[in-house]
Amino acid sequence: MLDKKVKSIVLAAGKGTRMKSELPKVLHSIFNKPLLAYVLDAVNNTDYVDESFVIVGHEAERVESFVKTNYENAKCVLQYPQLGTGDAVNKATPYLKDFDGYVIVVCGDTPLITSETIKNFVEFHDNNHADLTVMSAIFENPKGLGRIIRDKNKKFIAIVEEKDATPEQKAVKEINAGVYCINWKTVSNAFGSLQNNNAQCEYYLTDIVKWAVGKNLVVQSYILDNNEEIFGINSKVQLAEATKILNKKTVTKLMEEGVQIVDPDTTFISPETTIGADTIILPNVYITGKNTIGKNCKIGPFAHIRDGATIGNNVRIGNFVEVKKSVIKDNTNVSHLSYIGDAELGSKVNIGAGTITANYNPITKVKSKTIIKDGANTGSNSVLVAPVTIEEHASVAAGSVITKNIEAYALAITRTPLKVFSNWVKGKIEQHSGGNK
For residue 69, how far is the Cα from the chain centroid?
Answer: 16
Closest CA to 110 of 173, 20, 37: 37
| Domains of the chain as residue ranges with CATH | 5-230 (3.90.550.10), 236-412 (2.160.10.10)
Residue 395 CA to residue 241 CA, distance in Å, equals: 47
Specify the length of the chain in residues: 437
pLDDT at 437: 54
Can 304 be counted among the known catalytic residues? no
What are residue 150's DSSP bridge partners?
156
Contact 114, 250 (CB under 8 A): no
**pTM of this structure:** 0.92
The type of residue at 301 is P
Closest CA to 360 of 370, 347, 350: 370
Alpha-carbon dihedral sign for residues 154, 159, 165, 171: positive
Concatenated DSSP letters of 209-247: HHHHHHTT--EEEEE-S-GGGG----SHHHHHHHHHHHH
Sheet of 343-345, strands arranged across: 274-275, 292-293, 310-311, 327-328, 343-345, 370-372, 388-390
pLDDT at 144: 87
End-to-end CA distance of the chain: 92
In three-state secondary structure terms, 93 is: helix
Residue 307 CA to residue 160 CA, distance in Å, equals: 43
Residue 258 CA to residue 312 CA, distance in Å, equals: 16
For residue 110, how far is the Cα from the chain centroid?
Answer: 11
Task: Report in angstroms the alpha-carbon separations of 426 from 418, 432, 434, 437.
Answer: 19, 10, 12, 10
The pairing of strands 343-345 and 49-56 is: unpaired
Residue 273 CA to residue 258 CA, distance in Å, equals: 14
pLDDT at 161: 86
Catalytic residue among 125, 304, 336, 432: 336
Alpha-carbon dihedral sign for residues 15, 21, 24, 27: negative
Residue 213 CA to residue 132 CA, distance in Å, equals: 10
Residue 414 CA to residue 306 CA, distance in Å, equals: 31
Over its length of 437 residues, how does the chain's per-residue pLDDT go in tens digits?
788 999 999 999 998 899 999 999 999 999 999 999 999 999 999 999 999 999 999 999 999 999 999 999 999 999 999 999 999 999 999 999 999 999 999 999 999 999 999 999 999 999 999 999 999 999 999 998 999 999 988 889 999 988 889 999 999 999 999 999 999 999 999 998 999 887 788 898 999 999 999 999 999 999 999 999 999 999 999 999 999 999 999 999 999 999 999 999 999 999 999 999 999 999 999 999 999 999 999 999 999 999 999 999 999 999 999 999 999 999 999 989 999 999 999 999 999 999 999 999 999 999 999 999 999 999 999 999 999 999 999 999 999 999 999 999 999 999 888 899 999 999 999 998 875 65
Q: What are φ and ψ of residue 184, in 5° steps?
A: -60, -40
The pairing of strands 370-372 and 356-358 is: unpaired
The type of residue at 159 is I
